[in-house]
Amino acid sequence: MNGADGQALPRLSAADYFVQTWGVLVAAYRELNARKLFWVALVLNGLVIAAMAAVGVDEKGVSVFGFDLPIPLVNTTTYPDGKLYKFIFVGLGVGVWLAWLSTILALLSTASMFPDLASGGVDTMLSKPIGRTRLFVTKFVSGLLFTAVQVTVFALLGFLVIGIRGGSWEWGLFVVVPLMVVFFSYLFSVQAVVGMITRSPIASVIVTLLFWIFVFLVDAGERFTMVGVISARLEIAGIEARMEKVEDEERKSGFTKRRDDRLETLPNWELAHDIFYAVKTALPKTSETAGLTTRALALTTEMPVDEEEQQVDEQERRRRGLFRSEFVSPRKFEAAINQEYESRNVWWVVGTSLGFVGVMLGVGVWYFRRRDF
């Protein structure tokens, strides 16, 4: 590499690369730290945890701020070892706050990072000098600091509440930190590329939210068709089991027709599910990544299924709506769905999603390198 006078510039050492990269990270953190949304999110973290700490549970039942609530079967007998607090942490803390509200705040806080870089901030950065690829990737990593700091504080407060109030020091709780940072990286990669191309923070936020909605709809479609496939297969098996116990030929022929109808519709469900599953594989799995916290804390409920669960009221089986059945009990149906979700490999959930992030970063780096600043 030569300078303007034709003389070779000195090569940067590993220490120089580290100092440059560290300087960019520190500058980005200070930029995020200076924004009000950073502190707003931090305060909201505390309020969510305070709401969780306000819940009390003992052998008699549940109370909030000392006021007893008549909730049947919710006590330390049914929810031992701080399990109720873990459910609140996962359901309210991760499922609502971190996976939605906190993520939106993080997107708003980091929206101007790449538009600013493309609109003039690159001049100062490149004068260091620092390569464009490393600059883009370093800015991206520094943008993840917002989520990393916020989730770490949230996990630490949750850990203390569950330990003090629930009597269970759950170290596995901190798995939420890398999971939610990875979760945010899915959306932030889209925002970074759109911000770099459009130079507009507003456009980057809007496009990212629309993309998030699209991912949600694909996920909902995949879940819906998966439930349809499971329902059809269980229905066919249930009808065949009932046919073996029926001796009357007229009734058996009726069951045969119902089974054949199900066999006819099953391929349609399978085809629709295969399409949604293929599209979902190429996209980030936002909901399933957040759901890995439930697996990590072992909060899934084992539901023993009795193949001859005839004691369940027939009308109760018909209350499932679209996938109601008189041959399959609700418990067996839910157990089959849970088994399907738990069988999905963690590396498929996170690995393919990170592959999407890698593709987006590749696009962003390519565009950033070819631009003439």
pLDDT of the chain, 373 residues: tens digit per residue: 444 444 444 566 777 677 777 777 777 777 766 778 888 888 999 999 999 999 988 888 888 888 888 888 888 888 888 888 988 999 899 999 999 999 999 999 899 889 887 765 554 554 556 778 888 998 899 889 889 999 999 999 999 999 999 888 989 889 999 999 999 999 999 999 999 999 999 999 999 999 999 999 999 999 999 999 999 999 888 888 888 877 777 777 888 888 888 899 999 999 999 999 999 999 999 999 998 888 777 664 443 444 444 444 445 544 445 666 777 878 888 888 888 888 888 999 999 999 999 999 999 999 998 876 5
What is the pLDDT at residue 50? 93
What is the pLDDT at residue 49? 93
Please give the structure tokens belonging to residue 350.
């996170």
Sequence spans of domains, the chain: 14-200+354-370, 218-347
What 3-state DSSP class applies to 341? Answer: helix
What is the pLDDT at residue 296? 77
List CB contacts of 19: < 8 A, sequence separation 6 or more: none
Task: Give the chain's radius of gyration (CA, Å).
Answer: 26
- The model carries a pTM of 0.85
What is the pLDDT at residue 39? 86
Please give the structure tokens belonging to residue 103.
């993520």
Taking phi over 0 as left and psi of -120 to 50 as alpha, with beta for the rest, 204 belongs to alpha
CB contact at 8 A, 107 and 190: no
Q: Smallest Cα–Cα separation from 170: which of 157, 153, 183?
A: 157
